[in-house]
Homo-oligomer: A and B are copies of this chain.
Amino acid sequence: VAARKSPPYELYYWPGIQGRGEFVRLALEDAGAPYVDVARTAGGMRKMMAFMRGEGRSLPPFAPPFLKDASLVIAQTANILAYLGPRLNMAPKDEEGRIAAVQVQLTIADLVAEAHDTHHPIAAGFYYEDQKPAAKERSVVFFKERLPKFLTWLEGILERSGGDHLVGRRMTYADLSAFQVVCGLRYAFPNAMDRMAGRLPRLLALHDRVAARKNIAAYLASERRLPFNEHGIFRHYLELDAPAPKRPARSRAKA
């Protein structure tokens, strides 16, 4: 990526979680673009909250993440990626491809929202512990119906396209986002993902290809990549995961 004449991108997101900000981080990291993760710097949270209150701007973000590029402030993850994609050379060049990338990203965003609501079906503002029975009910339906529908949709796209990329013939931010959603789902629901693995060969191979990209691998090994935890979108609660898949006795003995 050529050096930018403008100041570095400023990413604003909650400092303690990967969350929706991670989709933007991955695109910036993969492209080697200069950026500041503002809320993780000294005084950054105060700066972020000022933007949220809309100080001095006509369109305050409803929620993080948002991106500042020179004087422009952009909120909503898919909107940020649609803006960054062409600038980072991480989006298709033709209009049809750009529209398709947004379509995939927005569908992944829907999956992310549903994955969040497995542990917070009643209210994002309540503790998980105060909505456990509803969370369990929602999780069961999520594994049975929604998760397979979303993930086999992504698998189907790869199958039709020849298997390397979700949109077009090059890596785009949609591929990075598919990587991230697989990471998050595996963290939150290892059993459910293990049970589905056989149906997702192309999606899991794409995940591995993204993880092996030079800048992504360096990022994942760095302290910039926050660990998953039980404050974010993807949370690992044993009691919400599907039961462990049944394995042949031999491989069970090994495990």
Contact = CB atoms under 8 A, between A and B. Distances in A.
Interface of A: 54, 57-62, 72, 74-76, 78-79, 82-83, 96, 99-100, 102-104, 106-107, 110, 113, 117, 121-123, 125-126, 131, 134, 137-138, 141, 145, 149-150, 153, 156-157, 160-161, 167
Copies of chain A in the complex: 2
B125 A103 contact: no
A96 B58 CA distance: 12
Contacts of A107: 62, 75-76
Contact of A113 (B60, B103, B113, B157): B113
A122 B141 contact: yes
27 contacts: A54-B160, A58-B160, A58-B161, A60-B153, A60-B156, A60-B157, A62-B149, A62-B150, A62-B153, A74-B99, A75-B103, A75-B107, A76-B103, A76-B106, A79-B99, A79-B102, A79-B106, A82-B102, A113-B113, A117-B121, A121-B121, A121-B134, A122-B141, A123-B138, A123-B141, A123-B145, A134-B137
